């Protein structure tokens, strides 16, 4: 069953963007444009998680959070344009589970939502974020790449690309699929972006093992090939 997310946000563009991404990710969503409606919809919609703006008409986010905490332990992520530490501490002390400062990237919001849901759902299966192969460990929990036992500095996007390919060994991905699935469908780059990142990864991984390699499938895209004949 799809997890339900309530978005309490008075900025229509932000609310629509959040709704678009969350529904693409498989969530069921509902939007409230002021704090009063937020409390009402929380009771009616019974969400698994709330994205809650602080600066709201009718009732501010702090008041909404207080109302929610009086009757529920549902996880709440605060959204705000304010970045001051005092606001962050106040939100967490009042029972918020996380805090995201605007402007934010949607990939960060989605990652935070998944992390909070994992933390607050102890019975759920933990998502595997570490992959191991011969002389290679790709760890997205710590954002580390270990090559032949040595930590190799790797930009986050390179590591995410490698993890995505290695999560489905021998599956071929087109450049457009990788742009969509690793960079997100709002990314306005072109396929050369993927080529550049693959080239940089190959420089780090070349001749490390004969059990796997990053392989170009000419005219199609790339795959993480696994097998002794690789």
The reply to whether 32 and 91 lie within a common domain is yes
Q: Is residue 70 part of a domain?
A: yes
**pLDDT for residue 101 is more than 90:** no
Domain boundary (120, 151, 179) is at: 120
Domain boundary pick from 75, 96, 120: 120
| E strand or H helix that includes residue 178 | helix 175-178
For 131-139, which contacts have Cβ atoms below 8 Å and span 24 or more sequence positions?
A: 131/163, 131/166, 131/167, 133/166, 133/209, 133/211, 133/212, 133/226, 134/209, 134/211, 134/212, 135/208, 135/209, 135/211, 136/205, 136/208, 136/209, 136/212, 138/162, 138/163, 138/166
pLDDT at 97 (0 to 100): 84
Per-residue pLDDT of 132-151, as tens digits, reads: 999 999 998 888 999 999 99
Map residue 192 onto helix, strand or coil.
helix
* Residue 87, domain member (yes or no): yes
**Residue where a domain terminates, one of 96, 120, 144:** 120
Do 46 and 110 share a structural domain? yes
Q: Is residue 15 part of a domain?
A: yes
Split at pLDDT 50, 70, 90, the class of 87 is low
Of 122, 117, 151, 123, the C-alpha closest to 136 is 151
Q: What is the SS3 assignment for 136?
A: strand
Do 142 and 213 belong to one domain? yes
* CATH number reported for the structural domain that contains residue 50 in this entry: 3.40.50.2300
* Residue 125 within any structural domain of the chain: no
- In which band, very low, low, confident or very high, does the pLDDT at 84 lie, cut at 50, 70 and 90? low
Structural domain of 194: 130-226
Based on the fold, state whether residues 17 and 94 are members of the same structural domain: yes
């Amino acid at each position: 069953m799809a997890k339900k997310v309530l978005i309490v946000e008075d900025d229509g563009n932000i609310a629509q963007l959040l709704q678009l991404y969350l529904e693409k990710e498989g969530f069921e969503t509902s939007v409230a444009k002021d704090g009063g409606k937020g409390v009402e919809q929380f009771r009616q919609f019974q969400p698994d998680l709330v994205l809650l703006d602080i600066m709201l008409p009718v009732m501010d986010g702090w008041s909404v959070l207080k109302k929610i905490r009086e009757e529920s332990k549902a996880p709440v992520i605060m959204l705000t344009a304010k970045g001051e530490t005092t606001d962050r501490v106040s939100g967490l002390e009042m029972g918020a589970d996380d805090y995201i400062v605007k402007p934010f990237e949607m990939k960060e919001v989605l990652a935070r939502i998944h992390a909070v849901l994992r933390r607050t759902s102890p019975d759920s299966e933990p998502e595997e974020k570490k992959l191991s192969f011969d002389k290679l460990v790709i760890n997205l929990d710590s954002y580390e790449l270990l090559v032949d036992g040595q930590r190799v500095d790797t930009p986050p996007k390179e590591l995410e690309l490698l993890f995505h390919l290695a999560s489905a060994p021998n599956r071929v991905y087109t450049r457009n699929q990788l742009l969509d699935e690793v960079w997100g469908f709002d990314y306005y780059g072109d396929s050369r972006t993927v080529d550049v990142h693959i080239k940089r990864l190959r420089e780090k991984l070349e001749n490390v093992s004969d059990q796997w390699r990053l392989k170009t499938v000419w005219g199609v895209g790339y795959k993480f090939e696994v097998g002794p004949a690789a």
